Amino acid sequence: MASGLLMILDDIAALLDDAAVMSKVAAKKTAAILGDDLAVNAEKATGFSASRELPVVWAITKGSLVNKLIILPLAFLLSAYLPGLIVPILLVGGAYLSYEGAEKVVEWFRPRPATPIAAQLPLEREEILKREAAKIRSAIRTDFILSIEIIVIALGTVLNASLAVQVLVVSLIALAATVGVYGAVALLVRMDDAGFYLMQRSRQQPAWLEAPLRLGGQGLVAALPWVIRLLGVVGTLAMLLVGGGLFVHNIEALHHALAILPSLLPELLSGLGIGALLLLLTHPLHRRPGAHPD
Q: Is residue 185 part of a domain?
A: yes
Please report whether residue 36 resides in a domain.
Answer: yes
Residue 230 has pLDDT above 70, yes or no: yes
CA dist 129 and 48 (Å) reads: 11
Q: In angstroms, rounded to a whole number, what is the distance separating the alpha carbons of residues 164 and 1? A: 24
Residue 291: pLDDT band (50, 70, 90) is: very low
Q: Indicate whether 201 belongs to any domain.
A: yes
Q: Is 97:239 a contact under the CB 8 Å cutoff?
A: yes
Report whether pLDDT(101) > 60: yes
Residue 294 forms part of a structural domain: no
Looking at every residue in the chain, the average pLDDT score rounds to 77
Compute the average pLDDT of residues 83-106: 85
Q: Is 248:255 a contact under the CB 8 Å cutoff?
A: yes
pLDDT band at 288 (very low <50, low <70, confident <90, very high): very low
Strongest mean pLDDT among 5-14, 140-149, 159-168, 281-290: 140-149
For the chain, the domain total comes to 1
Q: What is the mean pLDDT of residues 102-109?
A: 87
pLDDT (mean) for 4-21: 50
- Burial of 208 from C-beta contacts in 10 A (0-12 / 13-18 / 19+): exposed
Contact call for residues 238 and 43 (beta carbons, < 8 A): no
* pLDDT interval class at 290 (50, 70, 90): very low
- Candidates 241, 247, 240, 236; CA nearest to 263 is 241
For residue 276, is pLDDT > 60?
A: yes
Angle at 195 between CA 194 and CA 200, to 5 degrees: 95
pLDDT digits (tens, 9 = 90+) for 185-225: 888 777 878 888 888 888 887 877 888 888 888 898 888 77
**Residue 12, domain member (yes or no):** no
The residue range of the domain holding 111 is 18-277
Residue 285 lies in a domain: no
Answer whether residue 264 is part of any domain: yes
Higher per-residue confidence, 121 vs 249: 249
- pLDDT for position 292: 46
Q: What is the pLDDT of residue 17?
A: 54
pLDDT at 289: 46
In a domain, 1, yes or no: no
- Lowest mean pLDDT segment, chosen from 39-43, 114-118, 194-198, 235-239: 114-118
Q: Check residue 136 and give its pLDDT.
A: 86
Q: Are 170 and 157 in contact (CB under 8 A)?
A: no
pLDDT single digits (tens) 136-149: 888 888 888 888 87
